[in-house]
Each structure stands twice: as C-alpha cells, then as structure tokens.
Amino acid sequence: MNFEQIIYEVQNRIALITLNRPDQLNAWTIAMKDEIIQALGMAETDDNVRVVVVTGAGRAYCAGADLSSGGFNVRSDGNGQREVHRDTAGQATLTMYDMKKPIIAAINGPAVGVGITMTLAMDIRIAADNVSKMGFVFNRRGIVPEGCSTYFLPRIVGISLASELIMTGRIFSSEEALEMGLVSQIVPPEDLMKTVMGLAGDIAENTSAISAALARQMLWKGLGDDHPMPSHIRESQGLDYMMTGQDCLEGVTSFLEKRPARFSMKPSTDMPDFYPWWEPRAFIL
C-alpha cells in the first residue's frame, strides 16, 4: 500500500515503518498519525510479520509536531455529547500498547516532543550515538506532555528522572539517554539499521509468535499491578496453554535435535481464550 508520509515495507518477517517527511525532519502531522496507525494495524493482522521497526528518513527521527499543520491534536466525538481534543501521539502509543508484535525504535536522528514520546510504547529503543537532540520539551512550549508519556516515562527511567526531564524540558543526547536507561544501546549511525534489523531478525527467526505476544502483554499490563499475584496467575495460564501446544513441542524438540525451531502457531488463529485478559478502555472525558 502507498502512503504519503510514511513508508511501509515487509522484509524477512519484519515490518519497517519509516517516517517520510525528511525535508521537514519528519515532523508529526495528523496525516502521519493516521498512516502510522493504519500501518501498525496491517502489521498486527499479518502473520508474516513478527516484529515492527520504526525509524526516520533522512537525518532526523522526528523533530516533533509540525506546528504549521496543527499536529498537536484533532477534534473527535469522545462521548456522543460534545467535541473533545484527542492527543494524536497518544492515539498512536495506545495502538502500540495493545499490539501482539514487538516494536523496536531505530532512532537515527533528533527525537523531540512526539518524536521521543512515540517511542516510549515501543519495547526496545536503539539510537545512533551521534544523536544530540532528544527532549520532552512540552513545558517550554507552554503545553503539557503527550503520547501517554506521563504513564510510560516514569516506568522506564523512574519517577525522579522522569520529573526532571519533563519539568525542565531540556535537550539531551543519545549518550545520556543510554545512561538513564531510556535507550538500551547506542551504536555508530552507519551500524544503526544493521543492529536493529539484526535484533528484529533474531526475534523473528528464533522465537514463537504466540510466546512473544503473550510475554509482551504480560510485561506491559503487569506494570500497573499492586502485587505479583496477577503476574503469577497470567504466567500460569500462559504456561498451561503453551505447554500443550505445537510451539512448545517444537521448541523442545528443536533444542534436543540441535536445529533451528520452526514455530507454526499464528497470532491470527492460535491465541488462547483468555487473551486479551484486560478490558478495552474507551476515551471518555
């Protein structure tokens, strides 16, 4: 499918989404949000896709909202009674949050505002080591954080550091992002896509799609639990289901036979009855 502001391609079971407004440093627009959500939906329903990678065209990842296009928010009918403003970045990250497929951010250049908040709902963030501009700059623009970043950021870097980054709105580098745990790796720019696609390929080739889907949501949905018991219950359900399935048999057999596994279970048809175990949340103001 042809998009106007992103590129979507599937290669080796990896869906690559490239933000594609390089002359505008891939600045965020409502149209870009719509296309990203559509591309994520395509990846989610395609059993040939095991991992999603998101990066930017040109020298930037995403320099923030395109203020000339009204990229901050969009009006929609929230509860059938009045119009409310929906944060467009939050619509994208909420889509990512409920997905079955792992998502990796390949941060190739400046990632400011929505450029960094959109990555927080992704599972892994890897950045080029020469990225000098990252930042949650909202307070410096007279607005508030978006992209559900006040939920995700404290869970990634801790409440104290999250407060510092958001309250000051300061710019920091990928090297500092590594030190604070915001990204898991920094690599030379020429090695970024090779590193990210290698990691994505490792997941695609060597893990069960069902295992990855269940584990991803066990991690994300467990962040709000007030006790380990819900995790114990979900893990017990997952183990009970998977240990009687073809992927577990194949995983054990391939290990004993010292050969690559050939997992056959598909997210489109083979998810357990207890998935999803959470109630969908409506946007009601």
The domains located in the chain, with CATH, are 6-203 (3.90.226.10), 207-285 (1.10.12.10)
Give CA–CA dist 119/157, Å, rounded.
Answer: 13
pLDDT attached to residue 1: 74
Those residues of the chain that have pLDDT short of 70 are 69-84
pLDDT of residue 68: 75
Cis peptide bond N-terminal to 276, omega within 30:
yes
Looking at the DSSP bridge assignments, the partners of residue 112 are 135
Q: Give per-residue burial for 121-133: e unless 16+ CB within 10 Å, then b.
A: bbbbbbbbeebeb
- Give the contacts of 6 (CB within 8 A, at least 6 positions apart): 17, 18, 19, 20, 32, 35, 36, 39
How, if at all, do strands 51-56 and 134-135 pair? unpaired
Q: What is the pTM assigned to this prediction?
A: 0.94
Distance CA 259, CA 281 (A): 43
| pLDDT score of 67 | 79
- Can you read off the two tokens belonging to residue 61? 């990842």
Please state the separation of Cα 265 from the chain's center in Å: 23
Which residues, listed in sequence order, are joined to residue 28 by a DSSP beta bridge? 65
